[in-house]
Structure 1
Amino acid sequence: MELSLRGTDFLGSFDLIWSKDLDEYKKNKLNLFVLKINSNEFDYDLLVDMLIDPVIDYSISRQVKEKYKDRAGTLSKKAREKFVEYTRNNGELGELLLFCFLESHLGAPKILTKLELKTSTSHYVNGADGVHFLKLENGNYQLIFGESKTYEDMSRAISDAFESIYNFKNGKNEKGNSKSGMHYEKSLISDNLFKESFSDEEREFLESLIYPTKERKFDVDDAFGIFIGFEVNIEKKDKAMPAPDFRNKIKALIIDEVTKRIKYIQKKIIDFDLQGHNFYIYVLPFTDIDSKRKIIMEAITK
């Protein structure tokens, strides 16, 4: 199966500061990205430009994309209408960014997004922010369930993300609805495969990722992709600095803030008894996070 994001330079919006292993077995990876800096400000306009096309891949199923493949304008309009309708009550920039990072950085193709799953059933609660799969070097696979949190406080975002994953894994939700959690999500994926324009071979392969068969020649483990957005405070006086000095200072500040939370992340994995899973964590700082999130969402849907 091909990646949904093709021909996009989404990663060109960022500098990758580092990727760190969080455990001795190198199962868990923390990726720290920072938006490109232009004239001592994060370049949000560049990010918006790089999200215009991914909104289509995030919002629209492969079946609809195939139907309108020769009508780019109509496809774009339908994608934005669907995205606006969904985000009116559920809007989360983090879901879209996580989808983009998992596809473009990790190389994990989308199976279904939360938008597609949630709009397929009124009973969908406490679900993942999308489902991807990843082929490993040993020939085995991982099903990657997404979780995104975009808060002013990074520690709260981390804590809530792992708590959500714990609840998702164990089928817990605030509404008391039994139709939630990882097992239910897998059944939803299976049901929705027939609504997608997968070939018979692709559909059979995806089914085998979800449900083991005696013919299956590989193992599949459940993993998680996490996006953490947080707010970084930049002092006004620093904006007067020469551009190279500003970049160095801000990146050093961000590195310090994230590095201080590494042990906290490791602790949360243990606290919620999630050590058996692989985690692919993406961390991105924002300035004025609430207002910038709203501005970005409005810009990519107008």
Structure 2
Amino acid sequence: MSSAPVEGSFSDLLAGLVRGDPNEFLHLLKEYEIPTTLDGTRTVVRTHFLAVDAGGAPAVDLLASAMARAAMDFCIPRARVEEAVEYLQRTRSTSHFSRLEQQARELFVDADGTGEGGELLLFLLMERLLGLPQLLAKMSLKTSSNVHVHGSDGVHASLGEDGILDVYWGESKLYKSSSDAFTDCFDSIAPFLAADGAETRKRDLLLVRDNLNVQHADLASHLLEYFDESSPRRLKVRWNGACLVGFDHGDYPNLDSLEAAQSKQLSNAVQRWRAAVGRRLTQHNLVQVGIDVFCIPVPDVDALRKAVRAKLGVS
């Protein structure tokens, strides 16, 4: 009889659930300066600007296309995708994939101002840049395209060989004002990360337990022990955050051809954004919580949102 998988094997199995090729997406978001851990905290701040095409235009349309292509991965549980794979292999027909793509697009709210475009982008960054697989396909739980899903914007995880499950709560905000975006983002995610946040986390953890987006039976059984209050593994869970803060930025830069004055101006702006994160970490008592923050200035948040909706076919 074969022995049960060791802890490290479960870690590899979970990491193997990450989907997509980062080379199809990350070239559209150019990193500015290196990721920086804020002094006295466990928060890493990353700043990305949209790539600029040969004509000098920021790649809003291409980014919107990449985000829309991720809709099925973001919305549809892996079990249903695997059923479509099996159907393709058995019948050579892609009709089940077409159906899933249509269902994914129909889940998005049929109204302007929705934050679900930001959720798509955060999903891509968490899976393809941070390598954190999704535990809950929360959009699939929507009962109507005209309502939002409450709670966090995403639940992802990694499992260390020491048996610690790092759960990442996602929160995304796309606002015209950077100040408003930072404020609302941390106001929203703080209750999930606070030491006394058990009640806030409870609803989403019940959803994870009942709708775990994991196909491998042994891995699923292992992970569920971390969400079982009667299991010793419940003590080996660490709460983390992943934040996407997008906002308008005028005089949009081309990072490949910065002049000295513009480079200095950008560095000063990045310092202000990092300081804004630091103030909110202190305000919410989150300095000792592991958080990855993506600052993504764009030429026009509303234009990006509308471009994503157009690519998704949402009127």
Fold-level match, TM-score > 0.5?
yes
Structure 2 CA distance for aligned equivalents of residues 65 and 190 of structure 1? 20
Per the alignment, in what secondary structure is the counterpart of residue 86 of structure 1?
coil
Structure 2 CA distance for aligned equivalents of residues 200 and 140 of structure 1? 20
Q: Which of 266, 272, 284 pairs up with 1:260?
A: 272
Per the alignment, in what secondary structure is the counterpart of residue 88 of structure 1?
coil
1:213-232 to 2 correspondences below 5 Å: 216=233, 219-232=236-249
- Shift in Å, 1:135: 3.2
Structure 1 CA distance for aligned equivalents of residues 106 and 265 of structure 2? 35
Distance 1:98 1:76, change over 3 A: farther
Offset from partner CA, 1:157-216 (integer Å, 9 cap, x none):
11111111234457xxxxxxxxx72112111110112xx562321211221232366554
Offset from partner CA, 1:2-45 (integer Å, 9 cap, x none):
234233522122211221101346x2111111111112221123
Distance 1:128 1:21, change over 3 A: same
- Shift in Å, 1:52: 4.2
Consecutive unaligned residues of structure 2, counting only runs of 5 or more, are: 1-13
- Shift in Å, 1:285: 1.2
Q: Which of 140, 150, 153 pairs up with 2:164?
A: 140
Per the alignment, in what secondary structure is the counterpart of residue 108 of structure 1?
coil
On the 8 A contact 1:59/1:79 being kept in 2, the answer is no
Does residue 84 (structure 1) correspond to residue 124 (structure 2)? The answer is: no
Q: 1:31 maps to which residue?
A: 46
Amino acid in the other structure paired with 1:207 = L
Structure 1 CA distance for aligned equivalents of residues 148 and 209 of structure 2? 14
Task: Give the alignment's TM-score, normalised by structure 2.
Answer: 0.78
Does residue 270 (structure 1) correspond to residue 282 (structure 2)? The answer is: yes
Does residue 50 (structure 1) correspond to residue 74 (structure 2)? The answer is: no
Does residue 5 (structure 1) correspond to residue 19 (structure 2)? The answer is: yes
Structure 2 CA distance for aligned equivalents of residues 52 and 4 of structure 1? 18
Q: Which of 80, 88, 110 pairs up with 1:64?
A: 80
Q: 2:211 maps to which residue?
A: 192
Distance 1:73 1:52, change over 3 A: farther
Structure 2 CA distance for aligned equivalents of residues 197 and 139 of structure 1? 18
Task: Give the alignment's TM-score, normalised by structure 1.
Answer: 0.81
Distance 1:136 1:22, change over 3 A: farther
- Shift in Å, 1:293: 1.4
On the 8 A contact 2:167/2:240 being kept in 1, the answer is yes
On the 8 A contact 1:127/1:168 being kept in 2, the answer is no
Per the alignment, in what secondary structure is the counterpart of residue 108 of structure 2?
helix
Offset from partner CA, 1:40-98 (integer Å, 9 cap, x none):
22112321343343221001111110111225454244334333333325452110010
Q: 1:175 maps to which residue?
A: none
Alpha-carbon RMSD: 3.3
Consecutive unaligned residues of structure 1, counting only runs of 5 or more, are: 171-179
- Shift in Å, 1:136: 4.4
1:87-236 to 2 correspondences below 5 Å: 87-89=109-111, 90-119=114-143, 126-136=150-160, 140-168=164-192, 181-193=200-212, 196=213, 198-211=215-228, 216=233, 219-234=236-251
Per the alignment, in what secondary structure is the counterpart of residue 42 of structure 1?
coil
Q: 1:20 maps to which residue?
A: 36
Structure 2 CA distance for aligned equivalents of residues 137 and 267 of structure 1? 34
76-85 vs 50-59, which moves further: 76-85
- Shift in Å, 1:269: 1.2
On the 8 A contact 2:249/2:298 being kept in 1, the answer is yes
Q: 2:307 maps to which residue?
A: 295
Q: Which of 283, 295, 299 pairs up with 2:295?
A: 283
Per the alignment, in what secondary structure is the counterpart of residue 251 of structure 2?
coil
133-142 vs 182-191, which moves further: 133-142
- State how many pairs are aligned: 286
Amino acid in the other structure paired with 2:243 = I
Offset from partner CA, 1:91-126 (integer Å, 9 cap, x none):
521100101101111111111143134449xx9964
Structure 1 CA distance for aligned equivalents of residues 191 and 36 of structure 2? 26
Amino acid in the other structure paired with 2:35 = S
